[in-house]
Amino acid sequence: MTATQKRIIINKIALGFSTLSAIIALGFLFWILSVLVMKGIDALNWNIFIFEGSPPGYEDSGLKHALVGQVILIGLATMIGVPLGIMAGTYLSEYGKSSKLAHTIRDISDIMMSAPSIVVGAFVYAVVVMPMGHFSAWAGAIALAIIMIPIILRTTDDMLQLVPHTLREAAFALGAPKYKVIMDVVYRGAKAGILTGVLLGIARVGGETAPLLFTSFNDNFFTTDLNEAMPSLTVTMFNYAISPYEDWQQLGWAAAFILSMFILGLNIFGRLILHFGKRK
């Protein structure tokens, strides 16, 4: 066998292994997705949206409490996290630029993006739940906001830097003060990018369970009181799945399906906005 033949055979083997690993990986992921879709659709029905939680064994049990709680928690977290994230990103891109401070903030925020979310939960427990004396929706929302800020900061920073400098200079030449240039020119130019960042940020915290376990805790009943423990889809899913009752486990799969569709939808929507925004 010549050296060339040998190399060709090795090439085939190596590429075969690589393709095989892609097939194995996709196989596992497809398995999980199909389980999620089949179990989820199986468990879906209108009662889920009408009824709140009930003890195992009851016919009329649903997820209304968790759905509403999830929306409230994510809404609150978005209200806290998005303005802070966008403003911090604005500072880095427009004022801090490549100063030492700006770089330090970027680095720390990048690390925070991958830091364990359960630790954020423990932190919020110590600074919000302990002084208040009880679990609350506020605590859960604050924990989610802390996780969200670094993501939004990063995308805002990146997207604002993509806005051409000539646009800013043109506005300055017309005598506009800096804040007006940022608000009317830079933000407008980076609109699609910032929106994508916000959507991806929401999608990321939407699936978080760990930081909610001991901040907003959980509740099997419908509540809108922000000072009380608040149910969420993720924690409800967790509690139902580890329970020994089959009907609760069913509801858990339904919750998993609804949440995944929501998060996938946000991700796809965010990508589309960025895609079409770029094309213009």
Partner 1 sequence: MIDKIFLNMTRTSALLILFIVAWIFVVLFNQSTEAMQTFGLDFITKDEWAPNVDKFGAYAAIFGSVASTFLAMLLSIPVAIGVAIFLSEIAHDKIKGFFGVSIELLAAIPSVIYGMWGLFFFVPILRDLFGGMGISLLAAGIVLAIMILPFMAAVTRDAMNTTPDILKESAYALGGTQWDVIKDVIIPYAKAGIIGSLILALGRAIGETMAVTFVMGNVHHTPSSIMDPTTSIPVTLANEFTEADSSLYFSSLFGLALTLLIMSFVVIAIAKFYFLRKVRKGQ
Q: Could you give the maximum distance between any two Cα atoms of the chain, in Å?
A: 78
Please state, in angstroms and rounded to a whole number, the distance separating the CA atoms of residues 106 and 124: 23
The footprint of partner 1 on residues 141-170 (CB under 8 A) is 146, 149-150, 153
The answer to the question of residue 182 lying near partner 1 (CB under 8 A) is: yes
The footprint of partner 1 on residues 38-77 (CB under 8 A) is none
Region from 163-171, 189-197, 200-208, 219-227 binding partner 1, contact rule CB under 8 A: 200-208
Burial class (CB in 10 A: 0-12, 13-18, 19+), 124: buried
Q: Which is nearer to partner 1, 138 or 253 (CB)?
A: 253
Region from 54-62, 64-72, 191-199, 258-266 binding partner 1, contact rule CB under 8 A: 258-266
| DSSP 3-state of 250 | helix
Select the residue interacting with partner 1 from 28, 49, 58, 276 (CB under 8 A). 28
Select the residue interacting with partner 1 from 2, 114, 164, 166 (CB under 8 A). 114
The answer to the question of residue 123 lying near partner 1 (CB under 8 A) is: yes
What helix, strand, coil percent values describe the chain, rounded to 5? 80, 0, 20
Q: How many residues does the chain have?
A: 280
Please state, in angstroms and rounded to a whole number, the distance separating the CA atoms of residues 126 and 116: 16
Angle between helix 64-90 and helix 246-279 axes, rounded to 10 deg: 30
The answer to the question of residue 108 lying near partner 1 (CB under 8 A) is: yes
Give the DSSP H or E segment for 138: helix 137-162
Minimum distance, C-beta of residue 181 to partner 1, in the bound complex (Å): 10
Q: Which is nearer to partner 1, 34 or 50 (CB)?
A: 34
CB-CB contact of 134 with 64 (8 Å) = no
The answer to the question of residue 109 lying near partner 1 (CB under 8 A) is: yes
The dihedral sign for the CA sequence 100, 102, 104, 110: negative
Minimum distance, C-beta of residue 259 to partner 1, in the bound complex (Å): 6
The answer to the question of residue 19 lying near partner 1 (CB under 8 A) is: yes
Please state, in angstroms and rounded to a whole number, the distance separating the CA atoms of residues 70 and 212: 11
| DSSP 3-state of 1 | coil
The footprint of partner 1 on residues 206-245 (CB under 8 A) is 206-210, 213-214, 217, 234, 237-238, 241-242
Q: Which is nearer to partner 1, 50 or 134 (CB)?
A: 134
Q: Which is nearer to partner 1, 137 or 237 (CB)?
A: 237
Select the residue interacting with partner 1 from 104, 184, 191, 278 (CB under 8 A). 104
Region from 68-76, 82-90, 165-173, 187-195 binding partner 1, contact rule CB under 8 A: 82-90
